[in-house]
Structure 1
């Protein structure tokens, strides 16, 4: 009578141990690839944030390298500073101007350059050129365009919006809007690429079916393109909010926060405090900016995701 293979108890234990070791290595191995990124993130983001939070609770003397614990006194000081509230207001006005333009204009450009026409790749390159243009060059160019003898001033006079040539960057009523246009122009090509990637992932059969059913181009854009681009809209919105909350270069290179604080945003306020060696006040304002940026981003993500669900429903 033949007997089946004999299985030793120790063999089962070894097989089980090998499976457990393989599973554990499968879970541990990805962390080894993440270590370089985590080190960079911790060194240049987490540690500076913790350091800033520490300084915000001290009366830190940067020259002496020492500080006395003062608790929340620095936060009380900035909340009673009129310049801080003006900077906060300017930051939100800047976001209100930039956010809708950075969300919708790149989407329209992406739809245009997604067409199969001759020379469309040239237009894609031209629209992307502002992204790779150094901010110093862009700021100097826009300062010339905004000058009294610039093209923009002449166009505004011809349209009857101004009686005489005016430099928009030196007028308190127009300076913030003028600077925001530089930000919009600089980011158009970058956000266009994000939308273009989203457009190219939409199946062509959907548009063909809608066209057969008699849907117009506008109806296809409203009922197909916009709902299918909802994830891209969320990404662009959050990126715009974060970039708008920490806008600095455009203002520093064009107006320096003037005239009369009309373009002083939160980051410019923090920069001026650091230049005056008010490190603790600057750190407290930086913590406030961080909380506002995270809160605004989370709120935008929630609003956009709920609208995305409504569109898909």
Structure 2
């Protein structure tokens, strides 16, 4: 299977300029290395009617193109179920009945990293599981045998992070992000993952799961976010930050694209112009402050 990069938005609403900047970077990383560039809609949760179509239109408007059709996670449930069944058969899972509040209030397990799941349900007896299951449905957690894993990132170098007994399937039956993203990337031949650096802390969990499943670990590049004037992650409440709002303010998609390229030190115009000048080592490493409309 030919190697590939990807962009994988969640259709919870319109993309803002921070999302669009990351999409441009993912496209540049893939195209500059001769990879295919794929589009995957991560719609397991928070999908809003019409959002996917709007997002795809906005990406096309700034020049981001992709190969083949759009893949949607909601079409891939059997593949996720099969993967969880493999882990269950290998003794790598257990049911968890904890609420979010119970996890927050529970004391940490001995030697567990800060923020890790404390293992409350890890060693329940069959009787205890039956009793708890009578009151609430169970999530399925991974039974990890490490507490930390290290990944290599193109921009961040070596990064060590927490690996705990993270959720594979929520108690409402929805597949968790950490499992879905690993399965999807492997199934699509994606060996380069470019995304916002807010997702770097979850990456060691995903790399560890890839290893358990004998799936290749992609090359990672976690890029800086776009922030507002206060240094907080950009959000739609920060004003005109989507192509729709910016067009109403007199800024067409081409102008927004050129502003985003300039923030990366790249020439304006069609993305092919930027591609010729693209060098990952020259990318800014700090968050970029959106100048506003």
User: Greater Rg, structure 1 or structure 2?
Assistant: 1
| Larger helix proportion of the pair | 1
Query: Taking CA–CA contacts closer than 8 Å with sequence separation of 6 or more, which of the two structures ends up with the larger relative contact order?
Result: 1
TM-score when normalising by structure 2: 0.22
TM-score by length of 1: 0.21
